[in-house]
Amino acid sequence: MKYEKPAKPRLTGLKYNIPMRYETIQNLSIPKLGFGTWTIGGDSSPDRSRDQRSLTALYSALDLGYTHFDTAEMYAAGRAEELLGQAVRARGIARQNLFITSKVSPEHLTHDGVLHSCEQSLRRLGMDYIDLYLIHWPTAGMKLEDSFRALNTLVRRGQVRHLGVSNFNLKLLERSLALSETPLLTNQVSYSLADREYQQNGVLAYCQQHDILLTAYSPVKPRAIRSLQALQAVAQARQATRQQIALALLTSQARVITIPMSANPQHQAENLAAADIVLTAEEMAQLG
């Protein structure tokens, strides 16, 4: 069964008529903008006092039409996965209309550790498969061959549809591409107007040349964008917010998608609408 993009975004309430732009890759159509779940259910450990606020944020995102949700076993020690699964069931969303990403933590990168982590993530999500499963962080001394032996097994079993990595430099990305039995789908990295490390170190160009998505996390750093005059100028000309233009800078690039997080329904809607802003070459150059 393949991920099927909904015919229309499920939109309500707010003033935005939100379209949905997709990146088509490896016979998949993946939203240019998804929803990150860091701080859902806690930070590095569960905080059940946040559960209702977290569920409200997830319900709002689902109602607005978000279909790509990014989570990890590391997020609130699995509580984010539990709440995401709970929200999906409560809203009655068909599983095939969602694209779910999760990640295995660096301390679990042994062959058996990867298999066990995936099984636990599936249990917490209450789902039969994960669309995209990533190595969350590389770690010193990891045996990447063992990790990918397990990841490839998960794909063959149908528990995982696609594989990727996160926070990998160019050398590790090249090794991962060689070890994956199926085409590597993404490298998820910190990338924003204020953080160009993975553009400068060649990872972005490599991804674009090898048909790999670069998934940008932490795509907006408010302090960094607040005083940028060029950003403000483009935002005013586009009748958009600075945050929307900062996101559009990413989604306007080939093979780049992004996963911002907000608990505010208005900001969620603005973020989603930002993916429909396609910046011109002149505007991109203006932003540097």
Give how many domains the chain has, as a whole number: 1
Answer whether residue 281 is part of any domain: no
User: What one-character DSSP code corresponds to residue 278?
Assistant: -
Answer whether residue 102 is part of any domain: yes
Contacts with 255 (C-beta within 8 Å, 6 or more apart), sequence order:
23, 25, 207, 208, 211, 212, 213, 214
What is the spatial distance between Cα 52 and Cα 281, in angstroms, rounded to a whole number?
Answer: 43
Instruction: Phi first, then psi: give them for residue 36, nearest 5 degrees.
Output: -85, 150
Furthest-apart CA pair in the chain: how many Å? 54
Answer whether residue 128 is part of any domain: yes
Q: Is 75 tagged catalytic?
A: yes
- Structure confidence by residue, pLDDT tens digits, 216-254: 999 998 777 776 888 999 999 999 999 999 999 999 999
Residue with tokens 């990790």: 147
Answer whether residue 226 is part of any domain: no
Residue among 32, 37, 20 at smallest CA distance from 249: 32
Residue among 265, 280, 250, 287 at smallest CA distance from 31: 250
* 49 class by beta-carbon count within 10 Å (0-12 exposed, 13-18 middle, 19+ buried): exposed
Domain CATH number, residue 207: 3.20.20.100
User: Exactly one of 66, 75, 129, 191 is catalytic; which is it?
Assistant: 75
CB crowding 131-148: b at 16 or more within 10 Å, else e: bbbbbbbbeeebebebbb
Answer whether residue 50 is part of any domain: yes
Number of residues that this document lists for the chain: 288
Token pair listed for 123: 């249990």
State the sign of the Cα–Cα–Cα–Cα dihedral 233, 237, 242, 243: negative
Domain range for 51:
22-215+255-261
Residue among 69, 97, 100 at smallest CA distance from 9: 97
What is the spatial distance between Cα 70 and Cα 215, in angstroms, rounded to a whole number?
Answer: 10
- Structure confidence by residue, pLDDT tens digits, 137-180: 999 999 999 999 999 999 999 999 999 999 999 999 999 999 99
What is the spatial distance between Cα 250 and Cα 12, in angstroms, rounded to a whole number?
Answer: 26
What is the spatial distance between Cα 137 and Cα 103, in angstroms, rounded to a whole number?
Answer: 9
Secondary element (H or E) of residue 214: strand 213-217
Answer whether residue 267 is part of any domain: no
Answer whether residue 237 is part of any domain: no
Answer whether residue 134 is part of any domain: yes
Residue among 209, 194, 191, 200 at smallest CA distance from 259: 191
* pLDDT tens-place values along the chain, 288 residues long: 455 555 444 433 344 445 579 999 988 999 999 999 999 999 999 999 999 999 999 999 999 999 999 999 999 999 999 999 999 999 999 999 999 999 999 999 999 999 999 999 999 999 999 999 999 999 999 999 999 999 999 999 999 999 999 999 999 999 999 999 999 999 999 999 989 999 999 999 999 999 999 999 999 987 777 768 889 999 999 999 999 999 999 999 999 999 999 999 999 999 999 999 999 999 999 998
CB crowding 32-47: b at 16 or more within 10 Å, else e: bbbbbbbbbbbeeebe
